[in-house]
Every structure is written in C-alpha cells, then in structure tokens.
Copies of this chain bind each other. A is one copy, B any other.
Amino acid sequence: MKKHTYVEIVTIGDEILYGQITDTNSQWIGQELNKLGFKVIRKTSIGDTKEEILTILDEAQKRADIILITGGLGPTKDDITKKTIAEYFNVGMTFRQEVFDNIAELFKTRNRALTDLNRQQAEVPENGEVIMNPVGTAPGMWFEQGNKTFVSMPGVPYEMKRLMSDSILGKLQSKYDTPFIVHKMLRTMGIPESLLADQIEEWEDALPEFIGLAYLPRFGQVRLRLTAVGDNKEVLDNAIEAQVEKLRPLLGDNLFAEDDVEIEQMIMNKMIEKGVTLATAESCTGGAIAKRITTLSGCSAFYKGGIVSYSNEVKMTQLDVQGETLLEHGAVSEETALQMANNVREKYKTDYGIATTGIAGPGGGTKDKPVGTVWVALSTAEKTEAKLLQLTKTREVNIYATGNTILKWLYDEI
C-alpha cells in the first residue's frame, strides 16, 4: 500500500482555549482531507503566544508531512501568527502588491477607507507563496521546507473554506500521492451501544484486517462507521459493500439510515423526487425542525413553512386546536399532537404535516408527564397518527431527538 500522508491541524487563538468560540474549522478540514485520503493524526489548539506557535510548528513537522494552520491573521496587535511564522523560518517580510490590491478592492465594495493596518496585511514572509483570499483581507500562505508543507489560513470559517476549496486542497493533491480511505456510515436508533455490539459481535470479529469499525453514539442514535484503507478504490468499495450486506439484516428495524447524510437532506431528496410538500407545527422543538430543513439550500421546492406554537393561545388561534382538547388532555397529549399535524397540513395545503408537543425541560415536568414526555404526530390526506416518546432530562437532547424521531418517521412514510 502507498504510504500514508500525515496531516496535523493547528488552530491558533486564545478564544479557543477560553472556550469563547467553537472550533469548527478543524472539523471541516478533517472531513475534506479525509475524502482525499489524507490522514489527520492530530489536532492542536494553542494560544496567541510566540513560544506556543514556534513550539507547535516544530513538534508538528516531526510527526506530519503537512501542517495546516488557521487563525491569528487579523490586522490587529493580538494576531501574531504571520510574523511568528517568519521567525520560525528565519526570514523577513515582503510587501505583496497583489494582496494589497485585493484588500483595496474589498474595501471599495464595502465603501470603507483603508488604514495602515490593512497595508500591513499585505506583508507576507519572504519564503511564502501567497494564496489569494477573494472573501477577506488576510491572505493564505503556503510554505515548503524539505518535503514538509506548511499552510497558514485565516481563522474566519468561510474564508478558510474558500481558500481550501479553491486552491489548497488541489495543491495538496498534486503534491502528495495517498492511499484511499473509504468510509461507510450506518445510523441506528433505539438500541444501546452495548446491546448493538453484542448483536453484531460475530460479524465484527470476522471483519478483514483492512476494515475498521467504530461506534459513535449521539442523542439516542448509534452510528456505525466502517473504514477501509488501500490503494484500489474499487476493491475497497466492494469489500465494504460486501460487509454492509451482511450487516443490514443483523440491524433490522434499528437501521435508521445509510451514509452520513442528515435525515432532513434525505427527506428533501425524496420529497422533491415525488413532488410532495411539507408543513411543520412545532411546540417543544420551537422551530428547531424548521431550522434544520431551511438550512438546506433549495428547500423551498418542498417546504412551505410552519408554525411555532409555544403558547396554548397560539395553538388555538393559529392551529385551530380545540380549547376543550387542551383543557381535557393538556397541550402535551396525543389529541393535541394529532390536531396540530392535521391542521397545519390543511392550513398550509401540503401533502404532509408533522407536529411536536412535549416537555423539553428542565422545568415544566409533572408526575404524570415528566420532563422528556413528548408526542409527535404525522398527517397525510389518508391518516393522522401520533407516537409517544419518553426522552431524557436534558433540554438540548430532547429537542434534537424529537426532531430525529419525527423526521425518520416522515421519511419512512414518503
């Protein structure tokens, strides 16, 4: 097999260590590199100090072939990555006219005046190759030292992504020849990790050496990841597929979805293909389902909209839930869920209506209806049905798991 190309990702910024931002950059970079067969062996976050930056650059290049660095390229004094990289390579800085022109152009579009700080953003370590940034003022930089590559990118996620997609990934691919890494993801629901492991133990033990298995639990789902590594993609694909064929019957009804595509994306594909439409009525999920759907570009082709009915009054006036239903059975009840799903479908004139009502927590639980009690309902022209869920004590888990359950149910019904 070809030699692995090892990558380390270094994210720089005190705000990461203080926990003031979520580092989503390293996740995205990991995903993209993985698709191309690069092996990320470590991710490190450090603060904006010269010593830390110098140390990690030196450590990382001992372990990895490629070191990808994000952050610390802003125009302000607290950002010191660029000059520290120059110090690491023991070179000076040079002014790059093309970078300055790009900054000037960006400021013109935004009707802003340039400052001296922006001029400094056009200075780059002498040995660096500039990677132009069409969406921001800080350029990317590419450095080579022996067979090692260092790339420095801005920390703003959409700028970093643009630089990676437009040029860096391509340049890395031309420079390094890597084996293929093929993943297959299967999502299960409704079975704990330990039971699942028992259920598929024999199959797991018989896996060939070059295929690895991982269990990834999350919000009531367990995802199974098969990973195969080798030089021939077709061989890997076939080997994985052969294993998945043996695995499917062992998972039975607990198999939720294949491949790591979000359920809302699967629904979108199926609904557009069938030319059907959807509306949502959300109480306890409070717009979280609508948000998941509308995060998808192109969703207006099947999603007409929805109602977030947080109060009983809104359930009555906007969703025509009967006052006596709320009095007799309460807002968190099968009857209310059924009316919500049916009525939103009728009001929005869609083929499918889905509804959620429950106690997300942490407050609001009673003895009869503790936190985590949730009703979900699904309505079509033919039928309207509801299901009771008993979830957890944790608000965010309940909101997410409720969404997963009703979306999975919807997907199966389309």
Contacts and interface: CB of A to CB of B under 8 A. Distances in A.
Interface of A: 14-24, 26-34, 40-48, 52, 74-79, 110, 112-113, 115-118, 121, 135, 137, 156, 158, 183, 185, 192-195, 197-198, 204, 212-218, 223, 225, 227, 260, 279-280, 282, 285-291, 293-295, 297-300, 303-311, 313-314, 317-318, 347-349, 360-363, 392-397, 399
Contacts of A280: 308
Contacts of A18: 30-31, 34, 40, 183, 225
Most chain B beta-carbon contacts within 10 A, residue among A15, A28, A260: A15
B78 A215 contact: yes
A290 B308 contact: yes
A305 B311 contact: yes
A21 B194 contact: no
B112 A195 contact: yes
Contacts of A307: 305-308, 318
Nearest to A289: B287
Nearest to A17: B40
Contacts of A113: 195
A80 B79 CA distance: 38
A308 B294 CA distance: 10
Given A303-B310, A313-B304, A193 B74 contact: yes
A345 B360 CA distance: 25
Given A19-B27, A280-B308, A43 B41 contact: no
B45 A19 contact: no
Given A19-B34, A158-B394, A318-B318, 7 more contacts: A41-B46, A280-B308, A285-B294, A286-B290, A300-B311, A307-B308, A317-B348
Contacts of A75: 193-194, 197
A129 B156 CA distance: 41
12 contacts: A18-B34, A18-B183, A20-B216, A23-B26, A121-B194, A156-B218, A286-B290, A286-B294, A287-B290, A294-B308, A297-B395, A305-B310
A26 B23 CA distance: 9
A216 B21 contact: yes
Contact of A293 (B286, B362, B392): B286
Nearest to A116: B198
Nearest to A120: B194
A314 B309 contact: no
B293 A291 contact: no
